[in-house]
Structure 1
């Protein structure tokens, strides 16, 4: 098995069929599609099974979980050499997997390949997800500052997950669980290639505008906090250990002023 594709879903019977159809139309055929249903109450199961394709493996949870836990479960069931992700409302372009696997074949040292994409909604395409302003090979600093990794674009070697573990399932990371995962990967000695070509269509919902504003503000605060702690030698540049992330998340949730977060983190990180 070449690629295991993980699609977590919940109550998206009206959308997940389009996602599955786009995956089944890939020019690469050697893959399995693992759909992890987070106790949907609509016709999601019926839609998934209507495709009647032996490459589709459907799993259902009867108790609600975070999307990170559903992705982790899918990864635990994966048989492929590579792991790919797709959200249940996004679409893959037909040559997505082929173009990414070619890069792995050209460079055996590659560990992960991600790409650009196109925003779209019910009215049509809305433009590129990213206006590239970084090197082709992603580092911790690039991922922290630019956030160029969109989960539905990613293909990575299964060995990376075997090494670092899955996504963080702590509820405190609900909004940024995939972001923390990419940061953790970039902290390791893994080679990550960014392809500046659109290989997916990323669906934008009206409610996402509010979340994107929140994410932008949070990212700006993270940069300031990381810099402030680094200058005093409390956190080495690029350090994103689990303890620091846990403390940081708590403080971000409690305090609205960045200076309060920095002050409290300094005090708590100095503790033995």
Structure 2
């Protein structure tokens, strides 16, 4: 591939002590089909404690540009640095554990050309274990977009719609307009970014698998104390998604998540106490008070557990909340 001043897509990879799977991850990007597109591959080592940076320095491919943080910055500051360095209008986020299928980049470029109104998109992903064995295969569907309203509802009820960052493409100009990833966040800066990028534009959904995402215990998200930071940071994100909805729908969604979502944090609080981490428990309950009255949260938690035991939980949500939700949604 000849060097060009502006490639069709930029791939950005933050690296931190990831040598176990890093070579497979990097090679999967360099093996991308570039018969009809050009791409650049920007990598930043965030002060790795293993041989990651030494391996990265051996890469001689002209598509690769390597950076190194002088001090450990964390995921979102490193992503921001790389996105700002990217030359392409379209940026594919990448992760050191995962594997791109050979047609990933060309398909995402095609998708964004088909849906130019989209500011961020994601593809289906296939879970793999530490040995590369396939886990449960996801459903696939035709390429489509999801509206601002439906994306907010789905995110509030079920969490981040993409499920990962390694299957996400962003429009660089849109990232600039919303101020990039929130660097004050440790865990859910991506979830907040998806909200900001979808406030006035639909979200792109590429319906087939383009990425194999590795699931293992070494990932940042598996740390027990992450539950506290996720809960603390998620409050702001929920408010972001609620703000995108019309008032009556916003009010109804707020009621639903006070039953369906917030009491799940109470489960984690009880688990923290079970682990005898009383200091973390104090910090946790202080932040949890932002979500709802603690007594009412406990009542809802108890009712839901009883309904679950009686196998009536789904019926309860359907009758009490979901029927009205469908009526309130924009048709």
How has the CA–CA distance of structure 1 residues 41 and 103 changed in structure 2, closer, same or farther, with 3 Å as cutoff? same
Normalising by structure 2, we get a TM-score of 0.63
Q: 1:169 aligns with which of 162, 180, 183?
A: 183
Unpaired segments of 5 or more residues in structure 2? Answer: 1-6, 254-261, 267-282, 295-331
Asked if 1:13 is matched to 2:24, the reply is no
Tell me which residue corresponds to 1:245. none
Tell me which protein shows more strand as a share of its residues.
1
Tell me which residue corresponds to 1:90. 98
Please tell me whether the aligned partners of residues 235 and 291 of structure 2 are also in contact (alpha carbons under 8 angstroms): no
> SS at the partner of 2:19?
coil
Please tell me whether the aligned partners of residues 22 and 97 of structure 2 are also in contact (alpha carbons under 8 angstroms): yes
Q: 1:128 aligns with which of 112, 132, 137?
A: 137
Give the number of aligned pairs.
246
Unpaired segments of 5 or more residues in structure 1? Answer: 240-247, 265-272
Asked if 1:117 is matched to 2:132, the reply is no
How many angstroms does 1:22 deviate by?
Answer: 0.4
Which has the greater radius of gyration? 2
Cα deviation 1:175-209 (Å, max 9, x = unaligned): 2111111122122x123211221110111113539
> SS at the partner of 2:48?
coil
Please tell me whether the aligned partners of residues 225 and 258 of structure 1 are also in contact (alpha carbons under 8 angstroms): no
How has the CA–CA distance of structure 1 residues 174 and 92 changed in structure 2, closer, same or farther, with 3 Å as cutoff? same
Asked if 1:105 is matched to 2:113, the reply is yes
Tell me which residue corresponds to 2:285. 255
CA RMSD of aligned residues (A): 4.0
Separation in 2, partners of 1:57, 1:196: 31
Please tell me whether the aligned partners of residues 39 and 63 of structure 1 are also in contact (alpha carbons under 8 angstroms): yes
Q: 1:26 aligns with which of 22, 32, 35?
A: 32
Cα deviation 1:132-154 (Å, max 9, x = unaligned): 8xx74252222333333421111
> SS at the partner of 1:255?
helix
Asked if 1:201 is matched to 2:212, the reply is yes
Please tell me whether the aligned partners of residues 127 and 134 of structure 2 are also in contact (alpha carbons under 8 angstroms): yes
Cα deviation 1:216-271 (Å, max 9, x = unaligned): 989999999999999xx7x95699xxxxxxxx9xx99542795663249xxxxxxx
